[in-house]
Amino acid sequence: MTQKEKQKYDYDVIIIGGGIVGAGLFREQSLHGLKSLLLEQSDFNSQTSQGSSKMLHGGIRYLENMDFSLVFEALKEKNLWLRLTPHITKEIPFYLPVYKESKWPLFLMRIGLFLYDLLSLFQNTSHKILNPKKTLEHMQGLRKAGLVGSGVYYDGIVDDAKLGLECIYDGLNNPQCNALNYKQVTKVEKNQDCYQVTYKDKINDQTETARAQFVIFATGPFTDQVMKKLEIPWEPVILPSKGTHLWLDGKSLPIQDAMVLQTKDQRIIFVIPQRNAILVGTTESPIPENTNMLDIKPTQEEIDYLLSVVNEYFPESNITQKDILSSFAAVRPLVKAKTSSSKTSRHHKVFSPQENMYVLVGGKYTTFRKMAQDVNKKILKKLNIKHDKKITLNPLRTTSIVSNPFTEKVSHEKIKEIIQSEKVRTKDDLLKRRLSLPSLRHFNDQELEKILKDLDLE
């Protein structure tokens, strides 16, 4: 493209959707020297990308579906991010208790965990098989009746919102790139050889436009709704599935390590101690049509279900509502298939409903970098720019001011610095994503509470 042709556009690419996939795309394009604009209608990583199980994992459950290529890819990405972002990621053991009535007997567990390590090219810490006595030594309070042992494998945990935010901060090192939150796209028009995108600020109601040669939709589970609203020709492809999580008081269960629980109705529940609390989730339930997925919350039925599973495995703990610090729900961006949501593959797909317009759907949180690469290759090819597959293998150039508020002292000066440089526009942005605090109940700090109260934020 000549310099004269470039002047027709404000940007090379406009990315609509600022979750983890949009953030990965933004970083990928920034590193390749493209001029990109990222638009997000809420805060960055405030929806599905902050509503995960806080895991970087290969998806051990997908071994059952023989989806080896997905597991291989996800394990490779998991181990990459463990190396690149040790301040917000960590490898931990996961215990899989096996009972006489379990779906997966111990001999199959042994085979499956070996295969999981093999698909990681033995980059995972090696799995172990424990007898009942050793299992109970590690998992005190676990139900003894029918216990035949456990498998132990290793996966990663992650501050899910932070990883996306730090990809955006990294992309902003390219002065030609910009990322804007609380910008709702209201119109996408094709004008000759460029797209004109109109967007409204959801806080001050100001409307702006930007032009770009390419438009990419990275809107996850909201894709069908967004395309319909913008009147872009599109056949619905999303099969929304709701995931519900509870944060329990860290003292409510006598465990130090993460667990994977097999339920009687063939679901998988993760129980992960972290951040002075214990994360429990997820259920998988279909979402009725016309549901407002931007404001989705756990139902009492889902909360009761998760509590009942935990109490079944830890009958002496008697976990109740009073042990819940907070709860959240999010929508998984599955692509429609003929099978049930629990069997649906998490492979991503790229659609092109119009020339120079791409729609990226499906995939897993862990594979977001690979998803971004697949779309960016198509754009770079059209621009006659060579794709560098190694360019995103380098550590992030800019990280968060406060990576972990549970170990770092959060002063008024640091709060002001975060507001000035990390695109904070509401108190929720600051508390839940820049400080990684699900609620103030998770971190009993009166000084921080006073600082937040005095801030001039929405």
Q: What is the CATH number of domain 3-48+161-237+344-393?
A: 3.50.50.60
Statement: residue 345 has pLDDT above 70:
no
Query: Mean pLDDT of all residues in the chain?
Result: 90
| pLDDT in the model for residue 293 | 76
Statement: residue 340 has pLDDT above 50:
no
* pLDDT tens profile 280-296: 998 777 787 777 777 78
* pLDDT tens profile 222-239: 999 999 999 999 999 988
* Cα gap 380→398, rounded to integer Å: 25
CATH 3.30.9.10 domain span(s) along the chain? 76-158+239-336
Statement: residue 32 has pLDDT above 80:
yes
Give the mean model confidence (pLDDT) for residues 70-86: 95
Statement: residue 341 has pLDDT above 80:
no
Q: Whole-angstrom distance between the N-terminal and C-terminal Cα of the chain? A: 43
Statement: residue 209 has pLDDT above 50:
yes
Q: Give pTM, 2 decimals.
A: 0.92
Give the mean model confidence (pLDDT) for residues 434-445: 78
* pLDDT tens profile 94-153: 999 999 988 888 999 999 999 999 999 999 999 999 999 999 999 999 999 999 999 999
Give the mean model confidence (pLDDT) for residues 25-38: 97
CATH superfamily of 76-158+239-336: D-Amino Acid Oxidase, subunit A, domain 2 (3.30.9.10)
Statement: residue 395 has pLDDT above 50:
yes
CATH 3.50.50.60 domain span(s) along the chain? 3-48+161-237+344-393
